[in-house]
Amino acid sequence: MVADFEVEFIERDDRNARFLVRGASPAFANGIRRAMIADVPTFSIDTVRFVENSSVMFDEMIGLRLGLVPLTTPLDDFEVGETVTLALDVEGPGTAYSGDIETSDDLVEPADDNIPIIELKEQQRIELEADAVLDTGREHAKHQGGVAVGYRHLQRVEVVGDAGEFDEGEPNILRGVIETEDGELVATDEFDHDLAERYPGKELAVHDVPGAFVFHVETDGSFSVEELVTRAAESIGARAAELETKVAV
């Protein structure tokens, strides 16, 4: 153990999570954040073969929309550069949704099935075949698995005394997660981001806790938050391993 990391979840869902990491340097925290955005690959449609497109939009515009549909990505089963073929065949009147996309491999399918692609009127039809490729967000933003990834410092709130009796009751807005004097972690939305709400009539001191980062991670549905975070850390480790072997020669 070179560093004593401590991880604690504050909010947790399959696609959305908030967790506290203690014992990280700012460089490391930022490395993980950047790796989550740009270095963890996801599947995204990259080539489209249009058999028919009698809709009101150009092939390229529909292609762009298809590229932005998140696809489930089992990273254990695929390497970067591998492709999976998908198909879409919808006739108007009606709307073509991402859920209408058929897949040749059940492991790779649209993560949401209610994304509208295009509205088709009577007599309009699209029929196409598409290749999804596994690549990283560094190549194209459509391959980003993390859509809202960031961190804030954990902030420690201490009561230093009572507010003056005739002080204006002004709001004291703070966003993120606070640590109370009892060591409890509280997301600020629990008290409407207003410290005056939680500690009425108190004088407070707020400090950043060194080395404690509250990550907020949201994925596009390609994989779970755990997968994204783990893969990001592993990608940094893998690059360090590569550098170590190359320097040793």
Instruction: Please report whether residue 151 would count as binding another protein according to CB under 8 A.
Output: no
Shortest Å, Cβ 158 to another protein: 26
Instruction: Please report whether residue 81 would count as binding another protein according to CB under 8 A.
Output: no
Q: Within 30-69, which residues bind another protein (CB under 8 A)?
A: 30-32, 34-35, 38-39, 44-51, 53-54, 59-60, 63-64, 66-67
Instruction: Select from 11, 13, 14, 25 the one that contacts another protein (CB under 8 A).
Output: 25
Q: Which residues of 86-116 are buried (b: 16+ CB within 10 A; e: fewer)?
A: bebebebeeebbbebbebeeeebbbbeeebe
Q: What is the DSSP string of 117-154?
A: EEEE-TT-EEEEEEEEEEE-TTT-GGG-SEEEEEEEEE
Q: Are strands 177-179 and 102-103 parallel, antiparallel or unpaired?
A: unpaired
Shortest Å, Cβ 224 to another protein: 9
Instruction: Select from 71, 90, 117, 229 the one that contacts another protein (CB under 8 A).
Output: 229
Instruction: Please report whether residue 19 would count as binding another protein according to CB under 8 A.
Output: yes
Q: Residue 131 CB: number of other CB atoms within 10 A? A: 14
Instruction: Please report whether residue 121 would count as binding another protein according to CB under 8 A.
Output: no
Instruction: Please report whether residue 76 would count as binding another protein according to CB under 8 A.
Output: no
Distance CA 206, CA 170 (A): 16
* Residue 16, burial from CB neighbour count under 10 angstroms (0-12, 13-18, 19+): middle
Shortest Å, Cβ 4 to another protein: 8
Nearest to 86, CA basis, from 115, 139, 129: 129
Shortest Å, Cβ 129 to another protein: 8
Q: What is the DSSP letter of 157?
A: E
Shortest Å, Cβ 64 to another protein: 6
* Residue 230, burial from CB neighbour count under 10 angstroms (0-12, 13-18, 19+): middle
| Nearest residue (CB) to another protein, 90 versus 128 | 128
Instruction: Please report whether residue 212 would count as binding another protein according to CB under 8 A.
Output: no
Residue numbers at the binding site for another protein (CB under 8 A): 1-9, 19, 21, 24-28, 30-32, 34-35, 38-39, 44-51, 53-54, 59-60, 63-64, 66-67, 138, 140, 142, 226, 229-230, 233-234, 236-237, 239-244, 246-248
